[in-house]
Amino acid sequence: MTVEPILQVEHLVHTYSEGTPFCRSAVQDMTFSVRRGEFLGIIGHTGSGKSTLIQHLNGLLQPTSGRILLDGKDIWAEPKKIRDVRFRVGLVFQYPEYQLFEETVYKDIAFGPTNMGKTPEEVDRCVREAAAFAGVSEEQLTQSPFDLSGGQKRRVAIAGVIAMDPEVLILDEPSAGLDPEGRERLLSNIRTYHAAKGNTVILVSHSMDEIARNVDRILVLKDAKVLMQGTPREVFARAEELESAGLNVPQVTKIARALHQRGLPIDPAVYTVEELRRAILALRGGGSPC
């Protein structure tokens, strides 16, 4: 069954300082779609256009040319309603903890749904559900966000966007600056949220390992354009192209490629530890590669 796209990007161009000597195109003729309910990864080298692109998806930036369609409708068709688009497409910036401002965690998470006009009862439900998804405890709701650790603040900021129940949740480098354990806990919470709500999640990351472990499909950007897109297996099968774009492949894929190059019948596009383990066990006669 074909899943209809929730977002469509059509020939998107964004040029900063147009008409000046400092003119620079950050996005050039990008066209792709995002399916409803999918977990999409966006990856690219610094300067590839990731941040500029995602700020168009909820109307924080307006295209120089091209269109962004949400449920088939141009989000800029009625500029006065762009605020409604931002409720439907929630964007969590990199280091969102610097945007916390309320006196308690509860009030910070409640800010969005309150501004959506929800009743106090609805706001309370949204706050507690979002806090649970983001890994914010009941005890922390009464605390000042400024008394929390960096990782806990990050969770509060993410909960504040989840509380608006967006149809699309965009996360820009959500694990940046966290230690490995903190990264995995946070990404586990995001996976749980996606599985429970079925909403579309877009994860922007510079880490191929992080992308490989979490997403259904990958969009690869290079020099302000879409270089490739596909499932993790399809993308990692093009490892040489990725490396020529200044990107890496997951460590597991590197190992699989090295074994393949030494003549072992292992798929060089393997991208999870479990998949590689099964392939090696099958070679030793200890299991099936499937």
Distance CA 77, CA 75 (A): 6
Distances (CA, A) of 221 to 4, 106, 226: 23, 37, 5
Residue 260 in domain: no
Task: Answer whether 257's CB lies under 8 Å from 281's CB.
Answer: no
Domain range enclosing 215: 5-231
Count how many domains the chain has. 1
Q: What is the pLDDT of residue 78?
A: 95
CA neighbours within 13 Å on the CB side: how many for 32? 22
CATH number for the domain that contains residue 54 = 3.40.50.300
Residue 129 in domain: yes
**212-239, pLDDT tens digit by residue?**
989 999 999 999 999 999 999 999 999 8
Task: Answer whether 13's CB lies under 8 Å from 62's CB.
Answer: no
Residue 97 in domain: yes
Residue 144 in domain: yes
Residue 264 in domain: no
In terms of DSSP bridges, do strands 225-230 and 217-222 run parallel, antiparallel, or are they unpaired? antiparallel
Residue 250 in domain: no
**143-191, pLDDT tens digit by residue?**
999 999 888 999 999 999 999 999 999 999 998 888 889 889 999 999 9
Residue 261 in domain: no
The alpha carbon dihedral of 204, 207, 208, 210 has a sign of: negative
Q: In what order do the strands lie in the sheet with 73-74?
A: 24-35, 5-16, 65-70, 73-74
Residue 101 in domain: yes
**80-133, pLDDT tens digit by residue?**
999 999 999 999 998 888 888 899 999 999 999 999 999 999 999 999 999 999
Residues ≥6 apart with Cβ < 8 Å to 83: none
Q: Which residues pair with 172 in a beta bridge?
A: 204
